[in-house]
Amino acid sequence: MNRIKTFISQETWSPYIAGILLGLVGLFTVLLANALLGASGAFESLAGLLGKKIAPSLFNNVYWGVEGSRTMPVIRPEITWGVILLVGIFFGGTLGALSSGKFKLRFNDDAQWKRIFGPQPWKRWVIGFVGAIIVEYGAGIAGGCTSGLAISGGMLFVPAAFLFMAGFMITGIITAMIIYRKRY
Amino acid sequence: MTISSITLALILGIAFGFSLNKAGLTTYRNIANQFRFTDMTILKYMMTAIVVAMIGLYIFRGLGWITFPTVPATYIVGNLVGGLIFGVGMAGAGY
C-alpha cells in the first residue's frame, strides 16, 4: 500500500509507464464509449458554440453547419462527448499535480524558458497564446491534434496519423533550431 | 447524452490528464526538448500508448468485442500541411 502511495506521489513517471496508462485509456475509450480520445475538436466545438451565439452569419458555414441544412457539419457546435472529456483532462492534470504536491499557480517559472526568452511572464502568455492559435489551426486542417489524430489514429493504423506526426516533427525541429540557434 | 456517458467521459478524461501530467508533458521543457532531441519523453510516451492500445484494439476486434469507430480521414496534403503548421506552434509555445 505504501509503495503504491510513493509511486503515485512521484512527480513524473517513466514515460513508458505513463504511456501504458494512456494506451489503456485509449483502449477503454473505444471499448466502453466507441469513441476516440481527442482534444482539439472539443475546442472547435466550444468555439462554434460561442461563435454561433455572437456572430451567427459568420459561423453559418459548412464547417460548423449551415442553418436548416441536413448535411452533418465537420464540427458539431455543441457540448459534445469530447468537450466533457476535455473537462476531465483538465481535472486529471490538476489531480496529477496535486498528487505529487507540485500544484501551484504559476505564470512563468520554467528555467529553460527564462534563459531563452527572458523572465517576463507576459512574453510567456503572448507566445503561448499565439502558439495555441497556430496549433489549433494546424489541427483543424489536419483533422486532429497529437491526441485525436496522432495517438488515436496511430492505434488504428491510420496513415493520416503518421503523416501528421512527420509533419509536426519537421517544422517542430526547424522552429526549435530557429529559437535556440547556437544552443540547439 | 446520458449521465453514464458523461461520467465515463469525465473518468477517461481524468485518467488521460493524469497520465499527461505524470509523463511530464505539462511542462515547457519536455515539449521543447523533444524537438532538440535532448529529451525523448514525447516519443517514448506516444509510441508506448499507441502500441499498447493497438495490441488491445486488434485483439478485441478479433474477439468480436468491438468494431472500430470512424477512423480519422486520410487526405495526404491536409494531414501533412496541418502537421507542418501544428509543429511551429507546438515547438514555439511548448504546450
Among A29, A56, A70, which residue's Cα sits nearest to residue A21? Answer: A29
Q: Give the pLDDT confidence score for residue B94 in this predicted structure.
A: 83
The conformation of residue A182, written as its DSSP 8-state character, comes to: G
pTM: 0.91
Q: Give the pLDDT confidence score for residue A159 in this predicted structure.
A: 92
In whole angstroms, what is the distance from residue A96 CA to residue B19 CA? 8
Among B19, B24, B53, which residue's Cα sits nearest to residue A92? Answer: B19
C-alpha cell at B47: 509510441
Q: Give the pLDDT confidence score for residue A182 in this predicted structure.
A: 82
Instruction: Tell me which chain B residues have a C-beta less than 8 angstroms from the C-beta of A142.
Output: 78-83, 86
Residue to mutate among B16, B42, B43, with most A CBs inside 10 A, is B16
Minimum-distance CB partner of B93 among A13, A18, A131: A131
In whole angstroms, what is the distance from residue B63 CA to residue B57 CA? 10
pLDDT tens-digit profile, chain A (184 residues)? 788 889 988 889 999 999 999 999 999 999 999 889 988 889 999 999 999 999 888 888 888 888 877 778 888 888 999 999 999 999 999 999 999 988 888 877 788 988 888 888 898 899 999 999 999 999 999 988 898 899 999 999 999 999 999 999 999 999 999 999 888 7
C-alpha cell at B62: 478479433
Mean pLDDT by runs of 10 across the 95 residues of chain B is 91 96 90 92 94 95 91 89 95 85
Burial class (CB in 10 A: 0-12, 13-18, 19+), A91: middle
